[in-house]
Amino acid sequence: MTRPDPAFWAGKRVLLTGHTGFKGGWTAIWLAAMGAKVTGLALAPDQDPALFDLAGVGGLVDSRIADLRDATDVAQTLMAAEFDLVLHMAAQPIVRTAIADPVATFAANIMGTAHLLQALRDRPGLAAVLVVTSDKVYANAETGRPFTEGDSLGGKDPYSASKAATEIVTASMARSYFDRAGVPVATARGGNVIGGGDFSRDRIVADIVRAAAADEAVVLRHPEATRPWQHVVDCAAGYLVFLERLAKDPASPRALNFGPAPGGAEVTVGELASRATAALGGRPWRHEPDPASLEARALGIDAGLTRKVLGFESRLAAPEAIDWSMEWYRRQAAGEPALALCREQIARYEALP
Protein backbone atom coordinates (compact mmCIF):
# COMPACT_ATOMS: atom_id res chain seq x y z
CA MET A 1 0.00 0.00 0.00
CA THR A 2 1.09 3.54 -0.76
CA ARG A 3 2.38 5.75 2.06
CA PRO A 4 3.81 9.30 2.27
CA ASP A 5 7.14 9.56 0.45
CA PRO A 6 9.82 11.36 2.51
CA ALA A 7 11.83 12.03 -0.66
CA PHE A 8 8.87 13.92 -2.11
CA TRP A 9 8.23 16.01 1.00
CA ALA A 10 11.84 16.90 1.83
CA GLY A 11 12.30 20.61 1.21
CA LYS A 12 8.70 21.20 0.10
CA ARG A 13 7.18 24.50 1.24
CA VAL A 14 3.88 23.49 2.82
CA LEU A 15 1.12 25.70 4.19
CA LEU A 16 -0.74 23.70 6.84
CA THR A 17 -3.79 25.32 8.39
CA GLY A 18 -5.02 24.01 11.71
CA HIS A 19 -1.57 23.07 13.00
CA THR A 20 -2.59 24.04 16.54
CA GLY A 21 -5.30 21.36 16.58
CA PHE A 22 -5.28 17.59 17.06
CA LYS A 23 -5.08 16.29 13.48
CA GLY A 24 -3.06 19.30 12.36
CA GLY A 25 -0.54 18.77 15.15
CA TRP A 26 0.11 15.15 14.15
CA THR A 27 0.40 16.16 10.50
CA ALA A 28 2.85 18.96 11.33
CA ILE A 29 5.02 16.52 13.30
CA TRP A 30 5.06 14.06 10.40
CA LEU A 31 5.80 16.70 7.76
CA ALA A 32 8.63 18.15 9.84
CA ALA A 33 10.10 14.67 10.30
CA MET A 34 10.17 14.24 6.50
CA GLY A 35 12.02 17.52 6.04
CA ALA A 36 9.18 19.72 4.78
CA LYS A 37 9.34 23.46 5.43
CA VAL A 38 5.99 23.94 7.12
CA THR A 39 4.16 27.20 7.71
CA GLY A 40 1.26 26.76 10.11
CA LEU A 41 -1.75 29.07 10.13
CA ALA A 42 -4.44 28.76 12.79
CA LEU A 43 -6.00 30.23 15.87
CA ALA A 44 -4.24 29.67 19.18
CA PRO A 45 -5.07 26.27 20.73
CA ASP A 46 -8.50 26.12 22.34
CA GLN A 47 -7.75 22.98 24.38
CA ASP A 48 -6.09 22.70 27.77
CA PRO A 49 -3.94 20.69 27.63
CA ALA A 50 -3.24 20.89 23.90
CA LEU A 51 -1.11 18.65 21.73
CA PHE A 52 0.36 21.80 20.16
CA ASP A 53 1.87 22.74 23.54
CA LEU A 54 2.61 19.25 24.87
CA ALA A 55 4.52 18.24 21.72
CA GLY A 56 6.13 21.63 21.05
CA VAL A 57 4.64 21.81 17.56
CA GLY A 58 5.31 25.54 17.41
CA GLY A 59 9.03 24.79 17.48
CA LEU A 60 8.79 22.46 14.48
CA VAL A 61 7.07 24.86 12.07
CA ASP A 62 6.79 28.54 11.22
CA SER A 63 3.72 29.06 13.39
CA ARG A 64 1.47 31.99 12.45
CA ILE A 65 -1.56 32.71 14.59
CA ALA A 66 -4.38 34.16 12.49
CA ASP A 67 -8.16 33.99 12.20
CA LEU A 68 -9.43 32.49 8.95
CA ARG A 69 -12.77 34.19 9.56
CA ASP A 70 -10.99 37.51 8.96
CA ALA A 71 -10.09 37.91 5.27
CA THR A 72 -7.72 40.80 5.96
CA ASP A 73 -5.93 38.88 8.69
CA VAL A 74 -5.44 35.90 6.37
CA ALA A 75 -4.20 38.03 3.47
CA GLN A 76 -1.74 39.96 5.64
CA THR A 77 -0.46 36.84 7.39
CA LEU A 78 0.30 35.14 4.07
CA MET A 79 1.50 38.26 2.25
CA ALA A 80 4.55 37.58 0.07
CA ALA A 81 4.75 33.98 1.31
CA GLU A 82 5.22 31.26 -1.30
CA PHE A 83 4.12 27.65 -0.99
CA ASP A 84 4.42 24.54 -3.10
CA LEU A 85 1.51 22.76 -1.43
CA VAL A 86 -1.42 23.64 0.83
CA LEU A 87 -3.23 21.34 3.26
CA HIS A 88 -6.25 23.08 4.76
CA MET A 89 -7.28 21.36 7.99
CA ALA A 90 -8.40 24.32 10.13
CA ALA A 91 -12.06 24.11 11.13
CA GLN A 92 -14.60 24.19 13.92
CA PRO A 93 -14.86 20.37 14.24
CA ILE A 94 -17.32 19.71 17.07
CA VAL A 95 -20.90 18.77 16.20
CA ARG A 96 -22.45 19.92 19.50
CA THR A 97 -20.55 23.23 19.35
CA ALA A 98 -22.01 23.79 15.89
CA ILE A 99 -25.51 23.10 17.17
CA ALA A 100 -24.99 25.61 19.98
CA ASP A 101 -23.49 28.28 17.69
CA PRO A 102 -24.19 27.54 14.03
CA VAL A 103 -23.27 30.97 12.68
CA ALA A 104 -19.78 30.84 14.16
CA THR A 105 -19.32 27.37 12.67
CA PHE A 106 -20.47 28.57 9.24
CA ALA A 107 -18.05 31.50 9.51
CA ALA A 108 -15.10 29.27 10.41
CA ASN A 109 -15.72 26.38 8.06
CA ILE A 110 -17.29 27.99 5.01
CA MET A 111 -15.99 31.55 4.97
CA GLY A 112 -12.65 30.51 6.47
CA THR A 113 -12.10 28.25 3.46
CA ALA A 114 -13.24 30.96 1.06
CA HIS A 115 -10.86 33.50 2.61
CA LEU A 116 -7.95 31.07 2.39
CA LEU A 117 -8.60 30.20 -1.26
CA GLN A 118 -8.99 33.87 -2.10
CA ALA A 119 -5.60 34.60 -0.52
CA LEU A 120 -4.02 31.76 -2.52
CA ARG A 121 -5.23 32.88 -5.94
CA ASP A 122 -2.41 33.66 -8.39
CA ARG A 123 0.29 32.40 -6.03
CA PRO A 124 3.47 31.66 -8.01
CA GLY A 125 4.79 28.14 -7.68
CA LEU A 126 1.66 26.68 -6.11
CA ALA A 127 1.32 23.03 -7.20
CA ALA A 128 -1.81 21.76 -5.42
CA VAL A 129 -4.32 22.48 -2.64
CA LEU A 130 -6.18 19.91 -0.53
CA VAL A 131 -9.15 20.99 1.59
CA VAL A 132 -10.19 18.60 4.37
CA THR A 133 -13.93 18.32 4.96
CA SER A 134 -15.71 15.35 6.57
CA ASP A 135 -17.59 12.09 6.07
CA LYS A 136 -20.64 14.07 7.22
CA VAL A 137 -20.92 16.03 3.96
CA TYR A 138 -23.39 13.51 2.53
CA ALA A 139 -27.20 13.63 2.68
CA ASN A 140 -27.75 10.88 5.24
CA ALA A 141 -31.02 8.95 5.04
CA GLU A 142 -29.81 6.53 7.78
CA THR A 143 -29.85 3.53 5.43
CA GLY A 144 -26.52 2.28 6.74
CA ARG A 145 -25.08 2.15 3.21
CA PRO A 146 -21.53 3.53 3.04
CA PHE A 147 -21.36 6.76 1.05
CA THR A 148 -19.38 7.07 -2.17
CA GLU A 149 -17.97 10.25 -3.65
CA GLY A 150 -20.83 10.53 -6.16
CA ASP A 151 -23.57 10.61 -3.52
CA SER A 152 -25.53 13.80 -2.91
CA LEU A 153 -24.20 16.35 -0.45
CA GLY A 154 -26.42 17.40 2.43
CA GLY A 155 -26.43 18.19 6.12
CA LYS A 156 -29.33 18.09 8.55
CA ASP A 157 -27.27 19.61 11.38
CA PRO A 158 -25.16 22.81 11.24
CA TYR A 159 -21.78 21.04 11.32
CA SER A 160 -22.65 18.71 8.45
CA ALA A 161 -24.16 21.58 6.48
CA SER A 162 -21.04 23.68 7.00
CA LYS A 163 -18.85 20.93 5.59
CA ALA A 164 -21.13 20.22 2.63
CA ALA A 165 -21.16 23.95 1.83
CA THR A 166 -17.36 23.97 2.09
CA GLU A 167 -17.30 21.31 -0.63
CA ILE A 168 -19.40 23.52 -2.90
CA VAL A 169 -17.35 26.65 -2.19
CA THR A 170 -14.10 24.78 -2.85
CA ALA A 171 -15.33 23.28 -6.12
CA SER A 172 -16.65 26.62 -7.37
CA MET A 173 -13.44 28.49 -6.62
CA ALA A 174 -11.38 25.70 -8.14
CA ARG A 175 -13.31 25.86 -11.40
CA SER A 176 -13.41 29.65 -11.50
CA TYR A 177 -9.80 30.44 -10.65
CA PHE A 178 -7.41 27.57 -9.93
CA ASP A 179 -8.19 25.23 -12.82
CA ARG A 180 -7.31 27.88 -15.39
CA ALA A 181 -3.97 28.37 -13.60
CA GLY A 182 -3.29 24.63 -13.71
CA VAL A 183 -3.46 24.24 -9.91
CA PRO A 184 -5.56 21.24 -8.80
CA VAL A 185 -7.76 21.92 -5.77
CA ALA A 186 -9.48 18.92 -4.19
CA THR A 187 -11.30 17.84 -1.04
CA ALA A 188 -10.66 14.92 1.32
CA ARG A 189 -13.63 13.49 3.20
CA GLY A 190 -12.32 11.79 6.32
CA GLY A 191 -14.02 9.53 8.82
CA ASN A 192 -14.16 9.83 12.62
CA VAL A 193 -10.55 10.27 13.68
CA ILE A 194 -9.21 9.09 17.03
CA GLY A 195 -5.73 9.12 18.52
CA GLY A 196 -3.53 10.36 21.31
CA GLY A 197 -3.43 14.08 21.99
CA ASP A 198 -7.08 14.92 21.37
CA PHE A 199 -8.37 16.83 24.39
CA SER A 200 -11.44 18.43 22.79
CA ARG A 201 -14.74 18.70 24.61
CA ASP A 202 -17.56 16.51 23.32
CA ARG A 203 -15.24 14.11 21.50
CA ILE A 204 -15.64 10.50 22.53
CA VAL A 205 -12.02 9.50 23.14
CA ALA A 206 -11.11 12.72 24.95
CA ASP A 207 -14.24 12.40 27.12
CA ILE A 208 -13.30 8.80 27.98
CA VAL A 209 -9.77 9.83 28.96
CA ARG A 210 -11.03 12.65 31.18
CA ALA A 211 -13.62 10.41 32.83
CA ALA A 212 -11.04 7.71 33.57
CA ALA A 213 -8.65 10.26 35.07
CA ALA A 214 -11.43 11.54 37.34
CA ASP A 215 -12.58 7.99 38.22
CA GLU A 216 -15.98 8.73 36.69
CA ALA A 217 -18.13 6.96 34.13
CA VAL A 218 -18.18 8.56 30.70
CA VAL A 219 -21.68 9.47 29.52
CA LEU A 220 -22.76 8.26 26.07
CA ARG A 221 -25.69 9.75 24.17
CA HIS A 222 -25.88 7.14 21.39
CA PRO A 223 -23.96 3.96 22.31
CA GLU A 224 -25.64 2.11 19.44
CA ALA A 225 -24.37 4.55 16.79
CA THR A 226 -21.76 3.40 14.29
CA ARG A 227 -18.96 5.54 12.90
CA PRO A 228 -16.06 5.00 10.44
CA TRP A 229 -13.35 5.06 13.11
CA GLN A 230 -9.84 5.83 11.84
CA HIS A 231 -6.57 6.45 13.67
CA VAL A 232 -5.06 9.88 13.17
CA VAL A 233 -1.91 8.49 11.51
CA ASP A 234 -4.03 6.62 8.97
CA CYS A 235 -5.96 9.81 8.28
CA ALA A 236 -2.88 12.02 7.98
CA ALA A 237 -1.15 9.46 5.77
CA GLY A 238 -4.09 9.42 3.38
CA TYR A 239 -4.21 13.19 3.10
CA LEU A 240 -0.49 13.43 2.42
CA VAL A 241 -0.62 10.69 -0.21
CA PHE A 242 -3.55 12.46 -1.91
CA LEU A 243 -1.76 15.81 -1.92
CA GLU A 244 1.35 14.17 -3.38
CA ARG A 245 -0.73 12.66 -6.16
CA LEU A 246 -2.45 15.96 -6.94
CA ALA A 247 0.95 17.64 -7.32
CA LYS A 248 2.19 14.90 -9.65
CA ASP A 249 -1.05 14.30 -11.58
CA PRO A 250 -3.43 17.26 -11.93
CA ALA A 251 -5.99 14.90 -13.49
CA SER A 252 -6.52 13.15 -10.13
CA PRO A 253 -10.06 13.06 -8.69
CA ARG A 254 -11.23 16.24 -7.00
CA ALA A 255 -12.80 14.47 -4.00
CA LEU A 256 -11.90 11.24 -2.21
CA ASN A 257 -13.17 9.43 0.89
CA PHE A 258 -10.80 8.33 3.65
CA GLY A 259 -11.97 5.79 6.18
CA PRO A 260 -11.58 2.25 7.47
CA ALA A 261 -10.46 -0.50 5.12
CA PRO A 262 -13.29 -2.72 3.84
CA GLY A 263 -14.09 -5.91 5.69
CA GLY A 264 -13.27 -4.55 9.13
CA ALA A 265 -15.65 -5.18 12.01
CA GLU A 266 -18.18 -2.39 12.57
CA VAL A 267 -17.59 -0.86 15.98
CA THR A 268 -20.33 1.04 17.79
CA VAL A 269 -19.76 3.99 20.09
CA GLY A 270 -20.53 1.73 23.05
CA GLU A 271 -18.03 -0.89 21.93
CA LEU A 272 -15.35 1.74 21.44
CA ALA A 273 -16.05 3.14 24.91
CA SER A 274 -15.92 -0.31 26.52
CA ARG A 275 -12.57 -1.18 24.93
CA ALA A 276 -11.07 2.24 25.71
CA THR A 277 -12.21 2.38 29.34
CA ALA A 278 -10.95 -1.15 29.92
CA ALA A 279 -7.54 -0.14 28.54
CA LEU A 280 -7.42 2.80 30.95
CA GLY A 281 -8.87 0.93 33.93
CA GLY A 282 -11.85 3.28 33.97
CA ARG A 283 -15.43 2.80 35.10
CA PRO A 284 -18.04 1.34 32.73
CA TRP A 285 -19.79 3.95 30.60
CA ARG A 286 -23.28 5.28 31.36
CA HIS A 287 -26.07 5.88 28.86
CA GLU A 288 -28.00 9.16 28.99
CA PRO A 289 -30.21 9.48 25.88
CA ASP A 290 -30.56 12.85 24.17
CA PRO A 291 -33.93 12.82 22.36
CA ALA A 292 -33.24 16.21 20.79
CA SER A 293 -29.98 15.12 19.17
CA LEU A 294 -29.62 15.58 15.42
CA GLU A 295 -26.58 13.33 15.16
CA ALA A 296 -26.76 10.44 12.69
CA ARG A 297 -27.12 6.96 14.17
CA ALA A 298 -25.42 5.20 11.26
CA LEU A 299 -22.56 6.57 9.22
CA GLY A 300 -20.13 4.83 6.91
CA ILE A 301 -17.99 5.81 3.93
CA ASP A 302 -16.71 3.76 1.04
CA ALA A 303 -13.01 4.41 0.40
CA GLY A 304 -12.85 2.09 -2.60
CA LEU A 305 -12.06 4.88 -5.07
CA THR A 306 -9.19 6.04 -2.86
CA ARG A 307 -7.79 2.52 -2.83
CA LYS A 308 -8.12 2.27 -6.63
CA VAL A 309 -6.69 5.69 -7.47
CA LEU A 310 -4.03 6.15 -4.79
CA GLY A 311 -3.25 2.56 -3.83
CA PHE A 312 -3.95 3.68 -0.26
CA GLU A 313 -6.13 2.22 2.47
CA SER A 314 -6.16 2.39 6.26
CA ARG A 315 -3.78 -0.03 7.95
CA LEU A 316 -5.26 0.05 11.46
CA ALA A 317 -8.63 -1.56 12.08
CA ALA A 318 -10.85 0.09 14.69
CA PRO A 319 -9.70 -2.13 17.61
CA GLU A 320 -6.05 -1.38 16.81
CA ALA A 321 -6.81 2.32 16.44
CA ILE A 322 -8.40 2.31 19.91
CA ASP A 323 -5.46 0.42 21.41
CA TRP A 324 -2.86 2.77 19.88
CA SER A 325 -4.83 5.76 21.15
CA MET A 326 -5.12 4.47 24.71
CA GLU A 327 -1.44 3.49 24.75
CA TRP A 328 -0.53 7.10 23.87
CA TYR A 329 -2.67 8.52 26.68
CA ARG A 330 -1.42 6.01 29.28
CA ARG A 331 2.22 6.63 28.49
CA GLN A 332 1.84 10.41 28.24
CA ALA A 333 0.05 10.51 31.61
CA ALA A 334 2.91 8.46 33.05
CA GLY A 335 5.37 11.17 32.04
CA GLU A 336 6.62 10.22 28.57
CA PRO A 337 7.07 13.20 26.20
CA ALA A 338 4.15 13.74 23.82
CA LEU A 339 6.40 14.50 20.84
CA ALA A 340 8.39 11.30 21.32
CA LEU A 341 5.16 9.28 21.52
CA CYS A 342 3.84 10.82 18.30
CA ARG A 343 7.10 10.19 16.48
CA GLU A 344 7.23 6.61 17.76
CA GLN A 345 3.70 5.82 16.55
CA ILE A 346 4.34 7.45 13.17
CA ALA A 347 7.51 5.35 12.77
CA ARG A 348 5.62 2.23 13.86
CA TYR A 349 2.93 2.98 11.30
CA GLU A 350 5.50 3.55 8.54
CA ALA A 351 6.98 0.13 9.33
CA LEU A 352 3.65 -1.69 8.91
CA PRO A 353 3.45 -4.02 5.88
pLDDT tens digits along 97-154: 999 999 999 999 999 999 999 999 989 999 999 999 999 999 988 777 899 999 999 9
* Digit-coded pLDDT (tens) for 256-267: 999 988 766 679
Question: CB 138: neighbour CB atoms within 10 A?
Answer: 25
pLDDT value of position 289:
83
Is residue 316's pLDDT more than 70?
yes
Is residue 193's pLDDT more than 70?
yes
pLDDT value of position 300:
84
Is residue 348's pLDDT more than 80?
yes
Report yes or no: 246 and 186 within 8 Å, Cβ to Cβ.
yes
pLDDT value of position 292:
66
81 Cα distance to chain centroid: 25
What is the pLDDT averaged over residues 248-272? 90
Is residue 24's pLDDT more than 90?
yes
What is the pLDDT averaged over residues 227-243? 96
Q: Where are the beta strands (DSSP E) in 51-158?
A: 62-65, 85-88, 128-132
> Cα(204)–Cα(322) distance, rounded to whole angstroms?
11
pLDDT value of position 296:
63
Q: Is the dihedral of CA 110, 116, 120, 125 positive or negative?
A: negative
Topology, domain 6-350: Rossmann fold (3.40.50)
Left if phi > 0, otherwise alpha if psi is -120 to 50, otherwise beta: which for 90?
A: beta
pLDDT value of position 202:
86
Q: Is the dihedral of CA 50, 233, 328, 26 positive or negative?
A: negative
* Digit-coded pLDDT (tens) for 273-305: 999 999 999 999 999 987 766 666 667 899 999
pLDDT value of position 144:
74
Nearest Cα to 147, choosing from 129, 167, 128?
Answer: 167
Q: What percent of the chain has pLDDT over 70?
A: 97
* Digit-coded pLDDT (tens) for 38-89: 999 999 998 899 999 999 999 999 999 999 999 999 999 999 899 999 999 9
Left if phi > 0, otherwise alpha if psi is -120 to 50, otherwise beta: which for 149?
A: alpha
pTM value is 0.96
